[in-house]
Amino acid sequence: MRIGIIGGTGIYGYEGNTVSVDTAYGEVEVVHAVQGDHAVFFVPRHGAGHVLPPHRVNHRANLQALADCHVDRVIGITTVGSLREDITPGMLFVPGDFIDFTVSRPTFFDRGAVHVDMSQPFCPEVREAVLAAARSRQGEVAEGVYACTSGPRLETPAEVALLQQFAHVVGMTLAPEATLARERGLCYASLSLVSNLAAGLQKALPAQEIAAIYDRMRPVVMAVLREVVCSLPEERSCGCRGAAERGQL
Ligand code: HPA
pLDDT(206) > 90:
no
For residues 103 and 58, give the distance between their C-alpha atoms in angstroms, rounded to a whole number: 14
* Burial (Cβ within 10 Å: 0-12, 13-18, ≥19) of residue 228: buried
- How far, in Å, from the CA of 236 to the mean position of ligand 1? 32
Mean pLDDT across the chain: 93
Q: What confidence score (pLDDT) does residue 200 get? A: 85
154 lines ligand 1 (CB under 6 A): yes
pLDDT in tens, 148-183: 999 999 999 999 999 999 999 999 999 999 999 999
Ranges of H-type helices in the chain? 59-68, 124-138, 157-163, 177-183, 207-231, 243-247
Of 215, 241, 247, 227, give the one whose Cα is nearest residue 79: 215
Q: At 112, which amino acid appears?
A: G
Share of the chain above pLDDT 90, in %: 78
Closest C-alpha among 5, 13, 104 to residue 63 = 5
Contact 92, 21 (CB under 8 A): no
Quickly count: other Cβ atoms within 10 Å of residue 22's Cβ.
12
CA-nearest residue, atom 9 of ligand 1: 80
Distance 107 CA to ligand 1 centre (A): 24
pLDDT one-digit tens code per residue, 174-184: 999 999 999 99
Q: How many CA atoms lie within 13 A of 24 on its CB side?
A: 6
The CA dihedral of 163, 166, 169, 174, to the nearest 10 degrees, is: -90
What whole-number distance in Å separates Cα of residue 34 and Cα of residue 31? Answer: 10
Which position has the higher pLDDT, 66 or 53? 66
What is the C-alpha to C-alpha distance for residues 163 and 143, in angstroms, rounded to an integer? 16
User: Is the beta carbon of 205 within 6 A of some atom in ligand 1?
Assistant: no
**Distance in Å, CA 198 to ligand 1 centroid:** 7
Tell me the per-residue pLDDT of 18-57, one tens digit each, with 9 for 90 and over.
Answer: 999 999 999 999 999 999 899 999 999 988 777 888 999 9
**Count of beta carbons in the 10 Å neighbourhood of residue 124:** 14
Is residue 172 in contact with ligand 1, taking CB distance under 6 Å?
Answer: yes
Q: Which helix (H) or strand (E) holds 98?
A: strand 92-100
| Residue identifier of the C-alpha nearest atom 6 of ligand 1 | 81
- Digit-coded pLDDT (tens) for 212-231: 888 899 999 999 999 999 99
